[in-house]
Amino acid sequence: MQIELTINGKLRSLEIRPGESLLETLRSAGYTGVKYGCGTGDCGACVILLNGKPVNSCQILTAAVDGESITTIEGVGTMDKPHPIQEELVKAGAVQCGYCTPGVVLSAYALLQTTPHPTEDEIKSALDGHLCRCTGYVKILEGVKNAAERVE
């Protein structure tokens, strides 16, 4: 079946199967910053923004979001021009294997869009759907806090 998605601001027409997950669609369309982790909505590696809100793309069937707007990590920052959240996570030592990082960045990005000066509890709540097995969470919180001071 044919659907249309606005991915990182660009309208894309995609051929999908009815039972295909958004995670599968995005990765096969080249957005490999979206990571496959658990496949059950537990780990947060596949988080993308759907109309600006973080969601687990492994738990969404693509056909259900026909016509909607998607933001992946590729739409937030690049290697040459990283987003301040990405820079602050690196500076804080919050990135080791990096597998959870795209999802974390997108959840933090969505939080700072609606709450530019979040409390620590608000950051924890926004990131409660992400598992990190490398650095732990202290450095991630520190990176997001520092980014909040830079992002307006």
Interface with another protein, residue 8, by CB under 8 A:
no
Q: Which residue has the tokens 């597998």?
A: 99
CA distance linking residue 82 with residue 97, whole number of Å? 18
Among 129, 141, 145, 151, binds another protein (CB under 8 A): 129
Q: Which residue has the tokens 């982790």?
A: 37
Of 9 and 19, the one with the shorter C-beta distance to another protein is 19
Interface with another protein, residue 107, by CB under 8 A:
yes
φ, ψ of residue 12 in degrees (nearest 5)? -125, 135
Interface with another protein, residue 134, by CB under 8 A:
no
* Residues in a beta bridge with 48: 55
Report strand pairing: 69-71 vs 2-7: parallel
Question: DSSP state, 8?
Answer: T
Among 14, 61, 90, 141, binds another protein (CB under 8 A): 61
Task: Give the binding site for another protein (CB under 8 A).
Answer: 1, 17-21, 24, 41-42, 44, 47, 50, 53-56, 59-61, 63-64, 66, 107, 125-129
